[in-house]
Structure 1
Amino acid sequence: MKWSILEVSKKKIIKFEEALDLTEELKQRSEEILDAKPVNVQGQIAYDDGIYYLDYTLEVDLTLPSSRSLKPVEYLMSIAVNEAFTTDEFLKKNEDLLDSDMIFTLEADWISLSESVADNILLEIPLQILAEDEKAGATSLPSGKNWSVLSEADYQKQKEEEADKENKSPFAGLADFFSEEKN
């Protein structure tokens, strides 16, 4: 879905509610996305004093690989988006806005909802996704010959046990002997 900046500037405000099928575009732009259901988007685009405001909320159900096992995991994403656009000519006249990172300069005479939605979905994909059984700890962590992945709790427990073994050693008392002798 696209709006001409001329159309938006004439109407001042346009409300919308759309279901966008961006599955192929999202899969092409990110290998992490295995599948995506249609994106439900509702909001408005408005024009005020040379600036175009695109405000919407989106909901999408993505299928992403688990960070641990790579098995498919359903992930519901809900995002509120507020973006501001302006033309290059308007920025030249209003140089005080040049340093603003919050305003996008339009590269064409239209604003694309699909492009904005896809960009924001890709920006919000979490770094770690776990399946429900992995969150609950029901599945064992990966391991191999002479190595294994530990949870943080297991790692802390292992460190404490190593410290206890060092303190119980018959030579543990000698550790302080040399440090006292230097003083």
Structure 2
Amino acid sequence: MKWSLNELRQAGSEPIMVNEELDLTSALKKRRPEIISASKVAVQGLFSVDKLGVLGYFKVQVELTLPSTRSLEPTVLPLSFEVTEHYVSYHEHDLSGFEDTDVVIVLDKDILDFDRVIEDNILLQIPMQVLTKAEQQAQSKQMPSGQDWRVVSESQLEQLRKDEKTLDPRLAKLADFFGENQED
């Protein structure tokens, strides 16, 4: 699907609703050859016009089959994510109205290729490491370690940080030592 920026702007204050199921398998495989297969992409969202341009907000769901980065076994990777992007004309030179965190896409020839937008965002969502369920379970149990070091998961790291904040009861009296005796 392609729309011109003028078509999108003509909607005025009424948002243009999008509820599509796209078959992007061949396009995704062409751009990322290691993709084995892809389900149809379910996209729900809207385009709305604001003072800065056209705002697109979408929820995307797709399942990709990729080789495991460890064993090369086919692995199903379910992706479910949201996209919020602003689309502006290539004639627009002043982008100062946007926040630093806003995603702003300058449209070439003022044409919005919706399939390409969804493809780009799907490819951005693919993690660097894809593991089968068995590999994920094995990885969580056996993290590498060595002399005076070890790899920990994020949950383990949070627990270690909490434990560090918990004061040893034997040193509890020393915790207030500097607070009471300092005069500045």
After TM superposition, the score normalised by the length of structure 2 is 0.70
Moved over 4 A (4+): 97-101
1:152 aligns with 2:143: yes
Question: Which amino acid in 1 is paired with 2:132?
Answer: A
1:76 aligns to what? 78
Contact kept? 2:52, 2:97, Cα under 8 Å? no
SS of residue in 2 equivalent to 1:108: helix
1:129 aligns with 2:130: yes
Shift of 1:135: 1.9
Question: Which amino acid in 2 is paired with 1:40?
Answer: A
More helix by share: 1
- 1:15-69 per-position Cα deviation (integer Å, ceiling 9, x unaligned): 0100000000101101231110110000001112250111101000000111110
1:118 aligns to what? 119
Structure 2's unaligned 5+ residue stretches are: 149-184
Which whole-Å CA distance do the structure 2 matches of 1:99 and 1:46 have between them? 18
Relative to structure 1, is the Cα distance of residues 105 and 62 closer, same or farther in structure 2, using a 3 angstrom cutoff?
same
Structure 1's unaligned 5+ residue stretches are: 139-150, 161-183
1:29 aligns to what? 31
Question: Which amino acid in 2 is paired with 1:152?
Answer: M
Shift of 1:98: 8.8
Relative to structure 1, is the Cα distance of residues 80 and 99 closer, same or farther in structure 2, using a 3 angstrom cutoff?
closer
Q: Give the alignment of 1:93-104 within 5 angstroms.
A: 94=94, 96-97=96-97, 102-104=103-105
2:90 aligns to what? 88
Aligned length, in residue pairs: 143
Which whole-Å CA distance do the structure 2 matches of 1:98 and 1:46 have between them? 16
1:38 aligns to what? 40
Q: 1:65 aligns with which of 59, 64, 67?
A: 67
2:110 aligns to what? 109
Q: Report the structure number with the largest CA radius of gyration.
A: 1
